[in-house]
Amino acid sequence: MPRRGRFRLLREYARRLDVTEIPSIEDALRESRAQELKKRAGPVIPRFFGKNVQATGEPPLIAKLRKLSKDAVIERMISERATNEDLVDLHQDIKSMFGPEEKGVDSGWLDYDDFCKARKVAAPSLREALSLRLFLALPKSQSGFIKVDAVLCYLCRFLENQQGYLSLRKVVEMTGGMGGSAAISIESLTLWLRAQASQMTEIKQSYAVLESVYSQTSARKFAFFLDPNRTGRIGLTHLISSSHFAHFQHVQEREKLSARDRAQAPAQPNADPVRWFEPKTALKLYRVFAQLDVRKKARLRKEDFAKWNSGSLTTRFVDQLWQVIDMPKHDKKQSKEMSFDAYLDFALAMSHRFTPEGIRYLFGILDSESLGFLGRFHVQRFIDSIFDKLKQQNRGLPEEKKEGIVNEIFDMCRPRDAGKIEVRDLLASGQGGRILSIMIDATLFWLHEHREHILAGQNPNKTGRS
């Protein structure tokens, strides 16, 4: 049949065909897409995390069995962990096995073969720490030897971290379980810190309230640095491996010493981070808070908090602090009042204002509009508030200096985008803490403005205004 005849037959067939019997293009595409996705899906993805036991309605007997099993595992880990006696025995074995007469080197050094022999004679609980990774990480001499003292110091830290991890994990299980990840809540951490504080000599001999205050101040520092997103939970591994936990352990070790041994003990090289975990620091913070709390309700009003540090904070900063920080409302006027935890966060930010965490906290208060930057207009407003505070203190400066101070702040920061100061600019400049200090505190601004007179040993109040 010729091509024209076949086309005529198809056209007649299309006229007779009912259009309703033909499926729409959208339905056909939808069905083919569903079949394609079904082929690509493959097997069903398993659920990695089950629901909470109480939410699923699991029988109480099974939930009790699971809790007992977890407790049994933790108790077994505690019983099998290394002890100080194991570390002393390892030190004696190293001294007896490797001497200068054997290899012609100082007995305080080990090569890899000696390291492997020490690993074999060590207790089973210490062998996991004496790994090849440790040997490669420790500093070596030109001949490839490592110091025995470096190995022993690492093992001491390993024992302390292991003991802290197991005790924290036991507290977590007692207060509700580990959940989907090995993390501890701030409330559980506070309970653990309170149990540790009860064993410290200085707290035993002091006020009864100091035990609670000490645990609260220590927990807030851990949360301030290790929980930047304010989730209320800290990973156990992240907590144990942090330098803050090492500082806390250092204070605990000093508390175990007698008064004579404590005086003869070497001073901590970097004492500022350690000082926060000392009981006298917690007592000092609580006394300042109690002095500001004139109503004795464990809450601070805005006008009470404004008297902090002899009223050196500017009015604008205090207003924006009350605007940004989440605080409960108590009185009939629905005005915010600061709790002791919120006060500790502020005290941490001011005492650690040169750290990235402190800079982010203070910058978040200054950037109350959540713009992500501070423009010249914002900086000018904070400098105006500084000048108003200085006038109240009878230390006023000429108004002509405002523009120069704003320019100096931008010169110190060196922002990437001219006219906009961001957090990354403050961190990159290395002077973020100083820049924020002179924008919120009149006393710190006065010290910065007269730093040359102070370095020269002169009294800035008698040298005139500069």
Residues 6+ apart with CB under 8 A from 344: 216, 217, 220, 221, 285
What is the number of other CB atoms lying within 10 angstroms of the CB of residue 344?
23
Task: Find out whether 379 and 406 touch, Cβ atoms under 8 Å.
Answer: yes
Same fold, 176-263+274-292 and 296-456: yes
Q: Decide: helix, strand or coil at residue 301.
A: coil
Q: What would the two tokens of residue 343 be?
A: 């006060």
Q: At what angle do helices 209-226 and 279-292 cross, to 10 degrees?
A: 100
Fold of 176-263+274-292: Recoverin; domain 1 (1.10.238)
- Cα dist from 102 to 147, 293, 401, whole Å: 17, 70, 75
Task: Find out whether 81 and 162 touch, Cβ atoms under 8 Å.
Answer: yes
Where are the chain's structural domains? 1-20+79-173, 176-263+274-292, 296-456
Q: Class of 296-456 per CATH?
A: mainly alpha
| Gyration radius from the chain CA atoms | 33
pLDDT of 19? 46
pLDDT of 147? 86
Residue found under tokens 């008698």 = 462
Q: Could you write out the DSSP letters of every residue in 125-177? A: HHHTTS-HHHHHHS-B-TTS-EEHHHHHHHHHHHHHHHHHHHHHHHHHHHTT-
Task: Find out whether 379 and 366 touch, Cβ atoms under 8 Å.
Answer: no
Helix (H) or strand (E) holding 233: strand 233-235
Task: Find out whether 159 and 70 touch, Cβ atoms under 8 Å.
Answer: no
Task: Find out whether 90 and 123 touch, Cβ atoms under 8 Å.
Answer: yes
Q: Decide: helix, strand or coil at residue 374.
A: strand
pLDDT tens across the length of the chain (466 residues)? 555 555 465 556 555 544 444 445 556 556 666 666 666 555 555 555 444 444 455 678 887 887 788 778 778 877 878 887 888 888 888 877 655 444 434 457 888 888 888 888 888 888 888 888 888 888 888 888 888 888 888 888 888 888 888 888 888 777 665 444 578 889 889 989 998 888 887 777 776 778 889 999 999 999 999 998 888 899 888 898 888 998 898 888 777 655 555 554 555 544 566 788 988 899 999 999 999 999 888 899 999 999 999 999 999 999 999 999 888 777 666 788 999 999 999 999 999 999 999 999 999 999 988 899 999 999 999 999 999 999 998 887 888 889 999 999 999 999 998 889 999 999 999 999 999 999 999 999 998 888 776 666 666 665 544 3
Q: For the chain, what's the residue count?
A: 466
Cross-strand partners of 185: 233
